[in-house]
């Protein structure tokens, strides 16, 4: 019987070193980006009629001015499908070229089938699909998984979607949380390309993922689809999460740059998870980026969890701010706690 040789510290294997053969590196190219926002916009003033809060408090503490809230027909799968269609159209790619669909969501319409296979059926794609749960870090996690599958040669085209309807899990009487979140979906289509393994390559240059389950009770949903007595509401110790967010996101930004041997000045755009403008500003300052190089949507979208990064990316891509060849750093932290980064050359 062959001896099983244990891998050396597998958790420390840098993701960016896989997929290299004969001086050629498989890279996951961001070929198309799309988004969907619910039609209904809810202002801070409207929320102030329901709970004891004010537009001034919400804006000063979070930067949020409004959020989009899904109507009954704007389900998680519907929004994910719309975002997916937009990403495929942007890439000029037919559904037949989709090898896999990954939907990052904490608010699927059903426990199963997955949102991903609902999207698959709606757009008429083949391949396979699954949902991934990592709260607000879900899109970063999904990008990392998709990148690994592409580098392994398993698939050539992956739809990575973040789609959330947090309005369905809000306690609308808790002013500490209900003012913070919004609904929406964003998607990217990743296709296999090649590079020489340097930071000059186009595509995903690195991803880094982290989790610490010891912080699980800092931000959670107190129920589940499998509990009919208790579908669940989001519960958050906001100030605790805030403290960890600033420290852990600063570390993950440093980690991404070091892994790519890149100075801060090489980053053209920060596209952060949109939870709180104060956290976003803090990370931008840490990177030495002027505010106009940080993509901010939290003022209009609020926190859309796993959808926030692709929504922000889509906005800055389609309005022409982000250009091909530029370096984009994405980072997120969410329930788990989970956190991580993706460094991409567009």
Of 191 and 208, which has the nearer Cβ to ligand ACO? 208
The answer to whether 53 contacts ligand ACO (rule: CB under 6 A) is yes
Strands 269-272 and 157-165 come out as unpaired
Dihedral (Cα; 13, 138, 326, 295), 10-degree rounding: -140
* CB 62, min distance to ligand ACO, A: 5
Per-residue H/E/C for 247-312 = HHHHHHHHHHHHHCCCCHHHCCEEEECCCCHHHHHHHHHHCCCCHHHECCCHHHHCECHHHHHHHH
Encoded tokens for 119: 């999207």
Query: Which of the residues are catalytic?
Result: 136, 273, 303
Of 81 and 274, which has the nearer Cβ to ligand ACO? 274
User: What DSSP state is assigned to residue 126?
Assistant: -
Contact residue for ligand ACO among 86, 119, 204, 245 (CB under 6 A): 245
Of 207 and 338, which has the nearer Cβ to ligand ACO? 338
Of 99 and 162, which has the nearer Cβ to ligand ACO? 162
Cα-Cα end-to-end distance for the chain: 47
The answer to whether 335 contacts ligand ACO (rule: CB under 6 A) is yes
Residue 31, φ and ψ in degrees, nearest 5: -85, -25
Considering only residues 125 to 154 of the shown chain, the ones binding ligand ACO according to CB under 6 A are 135-136
Q: Are 184 and 78 in contact (CB under 8 A)?
A: no
User: What DSSP state is assigned to residue 181?
Assistant: B
* CB 92, min distance to ligand ACO, A: 34
* CB 169, min distance to ligand ACO, A: 9
Q: Look at residues 242, 226, 315, 316 and name the one whose alpha carbon lies nearest to residue 280.
A: 242
Strands 40-43 and 66-69 come out as antiparallel
Residue 284, φ and ψ in degrees, nearest 5: -60, -45
* CB 281, min distance to ligand ACO, A: 12
Residue in the block written with tokens 């460094």:
343
* CB 146, min distance to ligand ACO, A: 20
Q: Give me the 205-244 binding string for ligand ACO, x by CB under 6 A, dash otherwise.
A: --------------x------------------xx-xx--
* CB 105, min distance to ligand ACO, A: 11
Q: Give me the 89-128 binding string for ligand ACO, x by CB under 6 A, dash otherwise.
A: ----------------------------------------
CA 247/CA 293 separation, integer angstroms: 21
Contact residue for ligand ACO among 175, 191, 208, 345 (CB under 6 A): 175
The answer to whether 49 contacts ligand ACO (rule: CB under 6 A) is no
Q: Give me the 178-197 binding string for ligand ACO, x by CB under 6 A, dash otherwise.
A: -xx-----------------
Q: Which residues bind ligand ACO (CB under 6 A)?
A: 53, 57-58, 61-62, 135-136, 175-176, 179-180, 219, 238-239, 241-242, 245, 275-276, 279, 303, 305, 333-335
């Amino acid at each position: 019987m062959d001896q099983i040789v244990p891998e050396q510290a597998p958790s420390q294997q840098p993701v960016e070193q896989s997929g290299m053969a004969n001086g050629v590196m498989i890279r996951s190219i961001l070929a198309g980006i799309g988004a969907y926002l619910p039609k209904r916009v809810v202002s801070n003033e409207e929320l102030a009629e329901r709970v004891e809060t004010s537009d001034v408090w919400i804006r000063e503490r979070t930067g949020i001015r409004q959020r989009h809230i899904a109507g009954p027909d704007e389900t998680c799968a519907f929004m994910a499908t719309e975002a997916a269609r937009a990403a495929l159209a942007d890439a000029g790619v037919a559904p037949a070229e989709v090898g896999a669909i990954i939907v990052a969501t904490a608010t699927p319409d059903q426990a199963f089938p997955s949102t991903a296979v609902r999207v698959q059926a709606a757009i008429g794609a083949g391949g396979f699909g699954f949902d991934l749960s990592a709260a607000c870090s879900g899109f970063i996690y999904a990008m990392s998984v998709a990148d690994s599958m592409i580098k392994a040669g398993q698939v050539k085209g992956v739809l990575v979607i973040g789609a959330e309807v947090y309005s369905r899990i809000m306690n609308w009487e808790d002013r500490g949380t209900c003012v913070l979140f919004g609904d929406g979906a964003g998607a990217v289509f990743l296709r296999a390309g090649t590079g020489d393994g340097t930071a000059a390559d186009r595509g995903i240059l690195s991803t880094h993922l982290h989790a610490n389950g010891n912080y699980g009770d800092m931000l959670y949903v107190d129920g589940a689809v499998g509990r009919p007595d208790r579908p669940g509401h989001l519960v958050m110790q906001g100030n605790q999460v805030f403290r960890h967010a600033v420290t852990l996101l600063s570390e993950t930004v440093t980690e991404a740059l070091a892994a790519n041997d890149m100075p801060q000045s090489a980053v053209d755009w920060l596209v952060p998870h949109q939870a709180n403008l104060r956290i976003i500003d803090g990370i931008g300052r840490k990177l030495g980026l002027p505010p106009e190089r940080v993509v901010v949507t939290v003022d209009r979208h609020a926190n859309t969890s796993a959808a926030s990064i692709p929504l922000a990316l889509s906005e800055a891509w389609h309005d022409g701010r982000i250009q091909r060849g530029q370096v984009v750093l994405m980072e997120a932290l969410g329930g788990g706690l989970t956190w991580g980064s993706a460094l991409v050359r567009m």
